[in-house]
Amino acid sequence: MKFIKLNLLILVLTFTSFKINAQGNSNKAEANFSFAKRSYTTTSVTGKTPIKIDGLIEDAAWDAVEWTSDYVEWEPDNNTPPTYQTKMKIVYDDKNLYAAFRCYEPNPEMIVQRMGRRDDFPGDWVELNIDSYNDDRTAFSFTMSASGVKGDEFVSNNGNFDPSWNPIWYLKTNIDDEGWTAEVRIPLSQLRFSADKDQVWGIQSTRRYFNNEERSTWQPVPANPAGWVSSFGELRGLKNLKPQKQLEIQPYSVGKYNSYEAVSGNPFKDGKDGDLTVGLDAKIGVTNDLTVDLTINPDFGQVEADPGAVSLDGFEIFFEERRPFFVENKSVFDYRFANSQDNLFFSRRIGRTPQGSAMGPNVAYVDQPNNTTILGAAKFSGKTENGWTIGVLESVTAREFADVIGDNGSETEKLVEPLTNYFVGRIQKDLNDRNSYVGGMFTATHRNIEDELSFLHTQAFSGGIDFKHNWKDREYYLEGNAVMSQVRGSAEAIQNTQNSIVHLFQRVDAGHIEVDPTRTSLTGTGGRLEIGKGGGGNWRYSLGGKWLSPELETNDIGFLRQADDIRQYAEVRRLFNKPTSWFRRAVIGLEQMTAFDFEGNYNRVQYETKGFINYKNNWWSEFGGAHKPRIFINSFLRGGPRWRFNEENYFYVFSGTDRRKKMSFDLGYVHSQAAQDAFGLRRYVFRTRYQPLNSLSLSLNLEYEANPNRTQYVAERNFNNQSRYILGNIDQETLSATLRLNYNINPNLTIQYYGQPFIFKADYSNLNYVVDATAEDINDKVNWYDENQVSFEEGSYLIDENRDDVVDYRVSNPDFAFVQFRSNLVARWEYIPGSEIYFVWSQGINGYGDVNRDFSGIVDNQLLRQRPQNTFLIKATYRFIL
């Protein structure tokens, strides 16, 4: 309680400090600005000399319309004149939309022309957002940097920007005595709009003035608006536009060569291999509203490797999707039903690592595929003019076999993944003058199961409905969803699901669940309901709850970390949007959460405060802390009784310099400590970025983490027909370094390097076993073995618990050190818009080190002295627009 009172006191004092510091501006800071909707009238230039995209804005067709200007500062000092003005023109013909921008800067030498890859948004830039359905929820965003770098994003849900959208469009910029200019040609085939004779689109334009880190907008917007797209102005004068059906075909070819250290006697590891593959991507406009994306034999060889990670809690590690086919327009298929990760559709299930294994007795060598082959995939998606958002995805993955050589030299194949079909359907409908929507989703997974893979589900289905309602100019909202799942399979498959870490039906102290070995299906539910204030004024708050029933299972095509959970949560935040003498903007908030399981066990309560300050000099600080007086975990003992962690307090502080500078730094520290030193966390972060040239940038991210725990789970053993849950003191350390280099020869020719060594050490000692898992005092929870009970022999701990000189059970030495190095060197050339050539060199090392060595010794022996696997790849694509 003392910690809670201290948090509240700090919050009150902080509010008071901010208000005192902002004296003289307090009335203006509290104002809730309401801005009139602006309108710009364009016209057609069909029949006139085509506009040449050269950045000069000299073509006669531009004279058909007037400039529009009067941009207003949005950040940091909302509703004030910007440092320098911006002007915009928009015209169109029967095939294209054209836009021109003049960004004034009286000293052209001050224009920052930093370069980067597409969607990097470097230096000075100006942006055009187009809500071509005028639905207040979706938009197409085009960003033009002064250096000529393009950025494009699809905007969904009134403010979620997705950079995976990569349309074909044309840009040129120019520097002159008045500042800089940009000319843009956007083919109408890249946009979606209705067939109405007279149309009104929503538009917004934003300019970033780099030197002041200032944003100004054509349509004035309040600070922290309730929604982005709904605050747009209007584009009028669009007459007789003809929807353009898109048809693009992009074949590709890939040549790949791998070299690695040969393994003596292993015919599958002779030191080198290679292959040549071809495939096809296509985009077909069924109507102007709806498109079909196809991929046949897709290749993702240029995709950056996943970062290093190790999980000791038994749960699956969540990695973001990076493959272009699945990333593009992913917002259409997004259905997060409980938190940021739990989702009905997790595209990385498609093409996953085979779930079967060919390893076993009498097996000498195995060549097992790393991923399942995607034979083909198709997406049908879009939004109709009457407010229907539609998405359908279908994919088929191949049967995968591992090549096996037995001890006697015989060669066979073993099936490790069945032929599988994945289906996802998504639909949403805008209602209430676009202030509300309702939607639904359905997924299905079908596997052609054969006997050796009977541990997998034959079928898995999930579905749900979701909604959101906004009122009072979107200031308040109510949103929610409800989902249901069903998995079917053999009794073995369903029992495996019941026993998995996600469900743990075998928990010994659970009265509401139990393993039924005869079941051939499971059906569960989940969902969330939240109400809150999302806009207007300086306060934001929300109150909500969510549930995941014990039988909910979505991991065949979705992602679910853990079922059997009921949570209530609340949050309040205070925004400080008006700059003062020492900060540009700030926010501080409080959060509270409680958790239960479906038996009614009160598992968790947590209180947290967090804040952020952007200082006047553009330095920044982020900070927070939490008090966790009650922490019960159902999964800690992997089927054993609920485990009570000691009371925990933690805090974090991160701060950094102005990221616009050629060199900037971030420092961070995270500190967690449980009562009785039961466990803790010390995490140190150092990040630096250096931009010696406009065309060259480097960044380095160093992280070190020490995570000691006196009661880390090790194993379960049987003693006198009773389960012994064996724990140990762990000294857990993690060290990683991530280096990135970006070099732009020009906006369409870039070189990128990514490298990350990752080392994880887990050193165990002081083994103990559980005697009372829910005791508050750690000394009542466990008993420590003494030296007369434990001996070590041939890599195992031999435990004589009753001291009768007979080994009662043994535990393999849990110590380990994991070492990984991943690097990608990628040269990308977009030789014509939409068509690319990639040159890729990847390196990789995986292995286990000596936990008794320090980090420098592990780096020397397990990284520097190992021969990495090298992959060389050339990929060429050509996009035909028909």
CA distance 559 to 316: 9
Please name the residues in contact with 365: beta carbons below 8 A apart, sequence gap of 6 or more: 265, 266, 267, 268, 404, 405
pLDDT of residue 4: 42
CA 329 to chain centre: 14
CA distance 326 to 278: 19
Element (H, E) at 238: strand 233-239
Q: Which two tokens stand for residue 818?
A: 């994991």
* Mean pLDDT to the nearest integer, 627-632: 97
Residue ranges of domains in the chain, CATH in brackets: 37-239 (2.60.40.1190), 286-301+322-563 (no CATH)
The DSSP bridge partners found for residue 521 are 488
Tell me if 547 sits within 8 A of 566, measured CB to CB.
yes
**Residue count (the chain):** 882
Pairing of strands 179-187, 459-471: unpaired
- The one-letter code for the residue type at 257 is Y
Pairing of strands 233-239, 39-41: parallel
Q: Which two tokens stand for residue 578?
A: 């008006």
pLDDT: which is higher, 618 or 362: 618
Burial status of residue 174 (CB atoms within 10 A of its CB: 0-12, 13-18, 19 or more) = middle
Q: Which two tokens stand for residue 232?
A: 């747009």
Coil vs helix vs strand at 615: strand
CA distance 486 to 1: 43
Asked if the model's pLDDT at residue 3 lies above 50, the reply is no
pLDDT of residue 9: 41
Tell me if 350 sits within 8 A of 422, measured CB to CB.
yes
Write the CA distances from 497 to 416, 421, 466, 506, 527, integer angstroms.
19, 20, 27, 11, 21
- The one-letter code for the residue type at 404 is V
Comparing CA positions, the residue from 151, 145, 152 lying closest to residue 115 is 145
- The one-letter code for the residue type at 705 is E
Q: How confident is the model at residue 19 (pLDDT cuts 50, 70, 90)?
A: very low
Q: How confident is the model at residue 34 (pLDDT cuts 50, 70, 90)?
A: low
CA distance 4 to 452: 56
Burial status of residue 578 (CB atoms within 10 A of its CB: 0-12, 13-18, 19 or more) = buried
Q: What percent of the chain has pLDDT over 90?
A: 74
Asked if the model's pLDDT at residue 15 lies above 80, the reply is no
* Mean pLDDT to the nearest integer, 648-653: 97
Tell me if 232 sits within 8 A of 204, measured CB to CB.
yes
Q: Which two tokens stand for residue 294?
A: 């196809």
Tell me if 209 sits within 8 A of 84, measured CB to CB.
yes
Asked if the model's pLDDT at residue 5 lies above 80, the reply is no
Q: How confident is the model at residue 28 (pLDDT cuts 50, 70, 90)?
A: very low
Q: Which two tokens stand for residue 767?
A: 């083994």
CA distance 511 to 601: 11
3-state helix, strand, coil split of the chain in percent (to 5) is 10, 50, 40
Tell me if 162 sits within 8 A of 181, measured CB to CB.
no
Asked if the model's pLDDT at residue 267 lies above 60, the reply is yes
pLDDT of residue 857: 79
Longest dimension (CA), the chain: 100
Comparing CA positions, the residue from 126, 129, 118, 247 lying closest to residue 190 is 247
User: What's the pLDDT tens digit per position in 292-302?
Assistant: 999 998 877 76
User: What's the pLDDT tens digit per position in 421-454?
Assistant: 999 999 999 999 889 999 999 999 999 998 889 9
Mean of the per-residue pLDDT values of the chain: 91
The structure's pTM equals 0.89
Comparing CA positions, the residue from 353, 312, 347 lying closest to residue 331 is 347
User: Among all chains, which residue has been given the structure tokens 């294209």?
Assistant: 96
- The one-letter code for the residue type at 779 is N
* Mean pLDDT to the nearest integer, 513-528: 97
User: What's the pLDDT tens digit per position in 710-739?
Assistant: 999 999 999 999 999 999 999 999 999 999
pLDDT of residue 399: 94
User: What's the pLDDT tens digit per position in 800-852?
Assistant: 999 999 999 999 999 999 999 999 999 999 998 889 999 999 998 888 888 88
Would you list the DSSP string of 825-839? EEEEEEEETTEEEEE
pLDDT: which is higher, 704 or 866: 704
Q: Which two tokens stand for residue 543?
A: 């109150």
Comparing CA positions, the residue from 676, 680, 637, 638 lying closest to residue 772 is 637
pLDDT of residue 74: 96
Tell me if 730 sits within 8 A of 763, measured CB to CB.
yes
pLDDT of residue 859: 77
Comparing CA positions, the residue from 756, 757, 762 lying closest to residue 863 is 757
The DSSP bridge partners found for residue 236 are 41
DSSP 80: B
CA distance 173 to 165: 22
* Mean pLDDT to the nearest integer, 294-320: 82
Comparing CA positions, the residue from 181, 128, 179, 137 lying closest to residue 155 is 137
pLDDT of residue 299: 78
User: What's the pLDDT tens digit per position in 200-251?
Assistant: 999 999 999 999 999 999 999 999 898 999 999 999 999 999 877 778 898 9
In sign, the C-alpha dihedral spanning 800, 804, 806, 808 is negative
Q: Which two tokens stand for residue 472?
A: 């009072």
From the CA atom positions of the chain, what is the Rg in Å?
A: 30
User: What's the pLDDT tens digit per position in 383-429?
Assistant: 888 889 999 999 999 999 999 998 888 899 999 999 999 999 999 99
Provide the Cα torsion 23, 27, 29, 32; round to 10°. Answer: 170
- The one-letter code for the residue type at 279 is G
pLDDT of residue 21: 42
Pairing of strands 869-877, 247-259: antiparallel
pLDDT of residue 383: 84
Coil vs helix vs strand at 248: strand
* Mean pLDDT to the nearest integer, 347-364: 91
pLDDT of residue 16: 41
Element (H, E) at 19: helix 2-21
- Strand ranges of the sheet holding 96-104, from the earlier edge strand across to the other edge: 86-92, 96-104, 179-187, 170-176
CA distance 171 to 54: 8
pLDDT of residue 2: 43
